[in-house]
Chain A
Amino acid sequence: MDFPYPRGGTYDPAMPIPTPFHDRTAPLCTSLRWKDWAGFHAVCRYGTHLEAEYHAIRHSAGLLDVSPLTKIAVAGPDAAAFLSFVTSRDIQRLRPARVRYVAICDEAGKLVDDGTVMNLGDAGYRLTAASPIWRWIDRFSAGFDVSLVDESDSIASLAIQGPRSRAILEQAAGEKIPLRYFQMAKMSFDGIPIEISRTGYTGDLGYELWCQPEHSTALWDQLMEAGKPHRLLPVGLDALDIVRIEAGFVLQGIDYYSAPTCLIESRKSSPFEAGIGFAVDLGRGSFVGSEALEREKRMPPRWKLVGLELSLPDIEKLYSSVGLPPVLPIEACRTSRPVHRRSRQVGYITSSTFSPILKSAIALATVEGSVGEPGTGLEVEFTIEHVHHRIPATVVERPFFDPPRKRN
């Protein structure tokens, strides 16, 4: 069996490999700043300057190549029952052309991954996730009449995100796109069959598009063409990282670890601890991890993923005390930093960034359940001029940024 290869080429051991959009993204990526995303070349930022890409998402629209996502086709009479069993949501209640955010847990109720399930109607369902989890869910398929096909390499995906994304798509499609939040549809873009869902990882108005790899270049070109008047910009992962923190979304491998890969128990987290407890439908019969989750739900949470707002005045004060102007680079930071309450460490920051739109320093942190209430005052470690300091921070509601256009 030959591994399906995105560009249909022969086997080449050199990694990472290009995505279906590589022919278009490569010439645009003038900064040559790439990274390895699940074994694919992925653009960090196209130009050397990140702010334009960020603002495109928040003010016009950005186009992202998200092909490296794991995509699994789930079909068969028991598809809905099966997905309800392996994920945290009751997929049997998911109507056709709807999408739902799901958590995937192990038997002990610890997070394996998070992603979405899309009801494609007669064609079954599509599960997307951050990491390769085909084997993981296949473990539980015995007794279910389902077929599971890993389509990660045979479906190309783009995300178009930002306030103008709807206008651009409507222009490209030549018709209205009346999709509501977490709805999807099958469409044809100038002869290219695509699936389109109103989903995304930016917390803004936005869509994700799914097509066959052979149409990838044409689709890209169409969208770029239609987007020109709307100032559509290709956007890399660095800008995405800022907006997803603003939107309060957790990232597997950064804000939580996938349970099967954890060498130590303390690295694992439940969906409740990772701040995605809303995606757990309990009281609907047993599913993978349900017993443990049910038990956990009854207890006060041990850990809680919270939003933190760092005190900008204190940061500025610290800078000025050493004679420097405040420097807050517009770039997300994934370095873990301890969080204290008085003299005791009560948690840690996993992702942090300066939010250009909110003009504040924000972070996602995992803290002890007792200090997770919004409004609680904490302290965060902060290094200036090689010296360690602590600055005040406040627990705030997530998402940090939640424009009405996201849902309307």
Chain B
Amino acid sequence: MTQERTDLLVVGGGIDALAAATIVARAGRSVRLICSEASLGEIDASWEFHPGYRSAGLRCLSAPRPAVVAKLRLEDFGYRSRLAPTTEESRPLSEPLLDEMAPILATIQEFADGAPRELIDPSFLEMLRLGGTLHRTRRAMGKYAFADALRVLPMSIEDWLSERFDEPRLRAQLAAPALFGGWVGPLSPSTAFLWLLAHAGGAHEPVGGGPALVSALEKAAREAGVTIETSTTVDGWTLEQGRVVGASTDGGELRAKQLLSTAHPSITLLERLGAREVPAALREDLGAYRSRGIVAVMHIALDCPVEGPEQRWIGDSPLDWERAFDAAKHGTIPERPCLRLRVASADDPSIAPEGCSVLKLQVFAVSVVGPDEADRQRETLEARVLEQLARVDENWPGAVVASELITPTDLEHHHHLPGGHLEHGELALDQVFSLRPCVGIGSYRTPVPGLWIAGAGTHPGGPFPGSSGVLAAGQILADG
């Protein structure tokens, strides 16, 4: 079968893949997008986990950055955003903190909106730019607040919050968003930075969550002329004279001038590429890229309506969250898992039958276990999560129609996420910006000609959906 060579083959069906495909196709290139699942969206897709009940993606996404929305013209394709629900009591407390840190958030956003800045080997010009950024941030904050912010960044979120709040329950509510992107507990240093990173994504989220965003992106991609093929499994990349010229799939070999993969970096560069094609130093760096999963997701179908706030954090004190992290750290199941509880059906009532509800629980903290232990872990964890739920509303356990628990082990085995981390790798001070996933491939270009990477495992990562796709597309187009 000879096929016409497309300009760009995008492998992956997630948000970043769709965003990149759309941008490149709009520039007049021929683009083909393939993904292994039957529908687009990867972990942000929606599926029926029980007759009549649908899930709403595994992540709780922020809204894409305004620049991304504008560039993709997402609003023309039905995309809408809204203020993300927060627990009533924590918002008035977090807002002053966010206001105070606004210039830092703006700086993080400035970094996220642009191509990765070279931090390890900056040119003189880049150093001046960095200096300028710092100077502007300082001027915006005032010298005292700026100096204090320097102090705060490496701190633990608990240490920072305890300087201001005495009530442990409130601190737990406030701290929780920092814990879902890394491999940390609230007492871990640098979680203050992760907290800011989580908030730099903005206070908004897509109406309808991940699935709605995916569907808007799909429309945009189709309109731009992207050929989309689902249910196509990729075995590996095809190389000719050291250059990637396509992918071998279960549907034969697909050839393209350029290939962009949005899979986890280890899959793109280690699994699908012959080991000899990867320089030893890069292989070592990728081997050291940390992506230990810590969050499980549980969908619960309830045959009753749910009153009250749309989002809750369940975990009474920072030490409860820390204990949960300790358990996962040592490979055990936490006695009291902490939860981010989203009433998914409140945002999109269509996913549950009339008068019924779907809860999305992100469960903290769960570690990857071996295949023999997976079932036992699932059972125990399910029971403990329900115990926790009963503490919120004693009627809930009785109303459970069905549930689906996806542990990091499942993410690893069934969702192509090595390590089982939802964000394609931990967010950490040494794994952000141009250091993500590692030095040398921080700007979407890989050492193998013709092969590009994007996705949550690259700059700027999961807190900024679609950004890496748009930025990578820009690099591919600039490359000619």
Contact = CB atoms under 8 A, between A and B. Distances in A.
B280 A143 contact: no
Contact of A139 (B242, B276, B277, B280): B280
Contacts, number: 21
A140 interface: yes
Contacts of B274: 143
B283 interface: yes
B284 interface: yes
B281 interface: yes
Contacts of A288: 280
Contacts of A278: none
A107 interface: yes
A107 B281 contact: yes
A144 B276 contact: yes
A142 B276 contact: yes
B269 to A, nearest CB: 12
B280 A107 contact: yes
Most buried by A among B276, B279, B281: B276
B284 A143 contact: no
Interface in B240-282: 242, 274-281
A107 B279 contact: yes
Q: Which of A107, A142, A286 has the most CB of B within 10 A?
A: A142
Nearest to B287: A142
A286 B447 CA distance: 14
B283 A142 contact: yes
Contacts of A142: 275-276, 278, 280, 283
Question: Which of B242, B278, B280, B283 has the most CB atoms of chain A within a 10 A radius of its CB?
Answer: B280
Interface in A134-177: 139-140, 142-144
Contacts of A139: 280, 284
A288 B281 CA distance: 11
A198 B277 CA distance: 37
Chain B contact surface mostly: helix
Contacts of B284: 139
A404 B180 CA distance: 74
- Secondary structure at the A interface, as helix, strand, loop or mixed, is loop
B419 to A, nearest CB: 19
B265 to A, nearest CB: 16
B268 to A, nearest CB: 16
Contacts of B281: 107
Interface in A240-268: none
A140 B284 CA distance: 10
A317 B79 CA distance: 94
Contacts of A85: 276
B279 A143 contact: no
Contacts of A144: 275-276
Interface in B276-333: 276-281, 283-284
Contacts of B278: 142-143
A144 B275 CA distance: 8
A85 to B, nearest CB: 8
Contacts of A286: 242
A286 B278 CA distance: 12
Interface string A68-88: 000000000000000001000
A139 B275 CA distance: 11
A277 B274 CA distance: 30
A143 B282 CA distance: 14
Interface string A281-295: 000001010000000
A144 B274 CA distance: 10
Contacts of B277: 143
A139 B284 CA distance: 8
Contacts of B275: 142-144
A107 B447 CA distance: 14
A294 to B, nearest CB: 14
B275 to A, nearest CB: 3
Contacts of B242: 286
A30 B278 CA distance: 54
A19 B74 CA distance: 74
A140 B280 CA distance: 6
Nearest to B274: A143
A336 to B, nearest CB: 32
Interface in A98-155: 107, 139-140, 142-144
A9 to B, nearest CB: 36
B401 to A, nearest CB: 48
B326 to A, nearest CB: 31
A146 to B, nearest CB: 12
Contacts of A140: 280
A107 B279 CA distance: 9
Interface in B122-152: none
| Interface-centre pick from A107, A143, A144 (highest chain B CB count, 10 A) | A143
Interface string A316-337: 0000000000000000000000
Nearest to A136: B280
A48 B277 CA distance: 56
Interface in B28-59: none
Nearest to B279: A107
A264 to B, nearest CB: 19
Interface in B149-199: none
Nearest to B270: A142
A140 B276 CA distance: 8
Nearest to A81: B276
B333 to A, nearest CB: 33
B281 to A, nearest CB: 7
Contacts of B280: 107, 139-140, 142, 288
A282 B5 CA distance: 34
A143 B239 CA distance: 15
A143 B278 CA distance: 9
A286 B280 CA distance: 13
A143 B284 CA distance: 14
B258 to A, nearest CB: 22
Interface in B373-425: none
A99 B335 CA distance: 63
Nearest to B281: A107
Nearest to B283: A142
Interface in B203-228: none
B289 to A, nearest CB: 16
A76 to B, nearest CB: 14
Nearest to A143: B275
B301 to A, nearest CB: 45
Nearest to A138: B280
12 contacts: A85-B276, A107-B279, A107-B280, A139-B280, A139-B284, A142-B278, A143-B275, A143-B276, A143-B277, A143-B278, A144-B275, A144-B276
Given A107-B279, A140-B280, 6 more contacts: A139-B280, A142-B275, A143-B277, A144-B276, A286-B242, A288-B280
Interface of A: 85, 107, 139-140, 142-144, 286, 288
Interface of B: 242, 274-281, 283-284
User: Which 5 residue pairs spanning A and B have beta carbons closest together?
Assistant: A143-B275, A142-B275, A143-B276, A139-B280, A140-B280
